[in-house]
Structure 1
Amino acid sequence: MNLLLSALRWIFDPAHWQPGSQSPLPLQDRLQEHLLYTFVSVAIACLIALPLGFLIGHTGRGRQLVIGFTGSMRALPTLGLLFFLLMVFGRFLSYDTAPIVGATIAFVILAIPSILAGAYSGLESVDRTTIDAARATGLTEWQILTQVEIPLGLPLIVGGIRAGTLQVIATVTIASYAGLGGLGRVITAGIGLNDYDRILGGALLVTMLALVVDAVFALLQRFTATAGLRESRTTARTGSRRSPRPTTRESV
């Protein structure tokens, strides 16, 4: 308990947040770097995974192949992959560029499975009768995808992005092993200095950042649900709480 309170005091110490202070690791800079690495990696992963997931969810083709592929990608050790990419790109790129490229690729690979799964699961969750009705009204396949399937499956799509983002936030801490910034530099500096307040403080900052981002995505997931989906979920929850009253008739 004393270690936790000491770590919290270290976090809220104004000297660690002031630009140009005596602290070698200003926390606001490390926090911005952490968010930057996360945003760039998740954005690239979305550009790759969302179109592929929409194609699979709309056509139903290649689903089993993608499930096996994403499962194998989840099993990849990110730290080992990072070191491998650093060795590969270190031969072709400069000393400053290789860590950035290698770390970004490693984080993109980490985020793709969750985003891809959310994309095709969101489209597959749409009722087939709704799609058939849209097709019967004369909508093209592109219109069905953009006006029916994606809007109705948006909560699950956002859920996939949410899961991928949280995984990246937790894993960006290993970027410090590649000489990059982020909140991982706080933890590694604490390990080097044998400063337990700094180590636990950095871990708590990563946790708090993940919780804040998760709360934002939870609100976004709630607001992206269409009115019909929200009403059906509310009705389902209300109906499940109410047990039907048995009716008995006395025979005379």
Structure 2
Amino acid sequence: MSTAAVQAVGARSAARRSRTWVTPLVVLVALGALWAYVGSLDLDSIETRTLAPDVVLTALWEHVQLVAVSTLLTIVVGVPLGVLLTRPGVRGAGAIVLAAANAGQAVPSIGVLVILAMVFGVGFWMAVVALVLYALLPVLRNTMVGIRQVDPALTDAGRGIGMSSREVLLTIELPLAVPVMLAGIRVALILNVGVATLAAFTNAGGLGSVISSGIALDRTPVLIVGSTLTMALALTVDWLAGLAEQVLRPRGL
């Protein structure tokens, strides 16, 4: 490799490392500005109770739980299903499943929550089911796309040296599909952070309860706190997902 090429690669690596710290810096600045804003206000009794640290931290923890559990279940369901739909004999069903997933995501998220609440009741697990249904599409689609874009010559070579279909999948197809699959999981994470705010309407808690309290009580500081914390959580989750992509991405891809 020429000196110029080495320098170009080094410059790109340095730029990538510098961008890695931009997001946490933005989050810290936003949280600092929020702290200063709330501290400068003369809060009334309602705002003081609603923005009590234990209330806000409980809502934040509930939100993190909703996102974590729903995303984990989305991966558990979406990745194996996406792999299955790329296997010979069932590939024709892939278009049908993707169409159904597209239709499900086209339905407004609050509609999914309300329908499930009417059928199964309210609470944490009902909200988790709704989030899984809503975030399933990017994980499912990216798993299928990632596997389908693997060069057939590579899989044929694997079979040619005596690999079984399972070995080809585990050692060739899935490793090469990892970057695309991780991108889908990252999208699902961000979707879940945003949609989870609506879980408050089905008694599942989360930062949506802070936002809805701000709207219902006509208290702008409460609304700003809930919205800013949701934004900060989304940025933090996206940052962590980006770091995970860098770690999990196979070397050389």
| TM-score normalised to structure 2 length | 0.76
What residue in structure 2 maps to residue 184 of structure 1? 208
Select which of 204, 226, 230 maps to 1:202.
226
Select which of 124, 127, 130 maps to 1:106.
130
1-structure distance, mates of 2:172, 2:82: 16
1:139 CA drift (Å)? 0.9
1-structure distance, mates of 2:110, 2:50: 32
Cα distance per residue 1:87-113 (max 9 Å; x no partner): 2123xxxxxxx4223212111101111
Select which of 183, 186, 190 maps to 1:166.
190
2-structure distance, mates of 1:25, 1:195: 19
1:57 paired with 2:57, answer no
Cα distance per residue 1:136-193 (max 9 Å; x no partner): 1111111111111111111111111111111011000011111221111110111122
Q: Which runs of 5+ in 1 are unaligned?
A: 91-97, 230-252
What residue in structure 2 maps to residue 193 of structure 1? 217
2-structure distance, mates of 1:70, 1:221: 25
- The 1:11–1:61 alpha-carbon spacing in structure 2 relative to 1, beyond 3 Å, is farther
2-structure distance, mates of 1:102, 1:153: 32
Seq. identity, %: 29
Select which of 41, 51, 69 maps to 1:40.
69
The question of whether the paired residues in 2 share the 8 Å contact of 1:11 and 1:201 is answered with no
Q: CA RMSD in A?
A: 2.7
2-structure distance, mates of 1:218, 1:57: 26
- The 1:47–1:22 alpha-carbon spacing in structure 2 relative to 1, beyond 3 Å, is closer
1:79 CA drift (Å)? 0.9
- The 1:208–1:21 alpha-carbon spacing in structure 2 relative to 1, beyond 3 Å, is closer
Q: Which amino acid aligns with 1:65?
A: I
User: Equivalent residues in 2 for 1:148-159 (5 A)?
Assistant: 148-159=172-183
Deviates more, 1:214-223 or 1:107-116: 214-223
| TM-score normalised to structure 1 length | 0.77
Q: Which runs of 5+ in 2 are unaligned?
A: 1-32, 44-48
What residue in structure 2 maps to residue 87 of structure 1? 118
Q: Which amino acid aligns with 2:229?
A: L
- The 1:25–1:177 alpha-carbon spacing in structure 2 relative to 1, beyond 3 Å, is farther
1:26 paired with 2:55, answer yes
What residue in structure 2 maps to residue 216 of structure 1? 240
The question of whether the paired residues in 2 share the 8 Å contact of 1:131 and 1:148 is answered with yes
The question of whether the paired residues in 1 share the 8 Å contact of 2:124 and 2:203 is answered with no
What residue in structure 2 maps to residue 67 of structure 1? 98
The question of whether the paired residues in 1 share the 8 Å contact of 2:51 and 2:222 is answered with no
1-structure distance, mates of 2:174, 2:207: 35
1:11 CA drift (Å)? 8.4
What residue in structure 1 maps to residue 145 of structure 2? 121
What residue in structure 1 maps to residue 19 of structure 2? none
- The 1:8–1:121 alpha-carbon spacing in structure 2 relative to 1, beyond 3 Å, is farther
